[in-house]
């Protein structure tokens, strides 16, 4: 939603970034809804697909999700048959994708790829090469 020209907040970079992030996450959430997945669910599927030794605490750290929120998230994914737990050693368990999780991951990747392409298409071509590096600079 464009800001009114007299909006004193519209020109503040932090405010604009927050509004843009909220709008993009709402759109991605809508795109994932037919798969009955939240953004956090999809993020976990994409993250654990790359490794077979990732623990729940490592997932939480990578995605900045607190332990209290990780438990219900992983329980939901496990209940849906998308992940399973495999022993790493006597104390740790890895979170891995089930066969159903691998199939759902392909759908997630297709939706995410379309979403990312659509997002970049909204940015003027001359700014696209700098977009992700500029965002990364804010995280450093």
CB neighbour list of residue 66: distance below 8 Å, 6 or more residues apart? 60
DSSP conformation letters of 14-48: HHHHHHHHHHHHHHHHHHHGGGT--HHHHHHHHHH
pLDDT at 27: 98
- Domains belonging to the chain, first-starting first, are 13-121+128-139 (1.10.10.10)
pTM for the model stands at: 0.86
Contact 47, 36 (CB under 8 A): no
Task: Return the residue matching tokens 């929120």.
Answer: 69
pLDDT at 10: 80
pLDDT digits (tens, 9 = 90+) for 89-119: 888 899 999 999 999 999 999 999 999 999 9
Task: Return the residue matching tokens 């998230």.
Answer: 73
What tokens appear for 72 in the block?
């219900």
């Amino acid at each position: 939603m464009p800001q009114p020209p007299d909006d004193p907040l519209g020109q503040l970079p932090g405010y604009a970034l927050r509004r843009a992030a909220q709008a993009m996450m709402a759109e991605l959430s809508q795109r994932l809804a037919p798969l009955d997945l939240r953004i956090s669910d999809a993020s976990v599927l994409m993250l654990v697909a790359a490794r077979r030794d990732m623990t729940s605490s490592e997932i939480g750290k990578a995605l900045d999700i607190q332990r209290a929120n990780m438990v219900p998230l992983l329980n939901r994914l496990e209940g849906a048959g998308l992940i399973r737990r495999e022993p790493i050693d006597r104390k740790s368990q890895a979170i891995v994708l089930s066969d159903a999780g691998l199939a759902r991951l392909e759908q997630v990747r297709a939706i995410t790829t379309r979403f990312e392409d659509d997002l970049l298409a909204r940015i003027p071509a001359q700014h696209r090469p700098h977009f992700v590096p500029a965002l990364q600079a804010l995280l450093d």
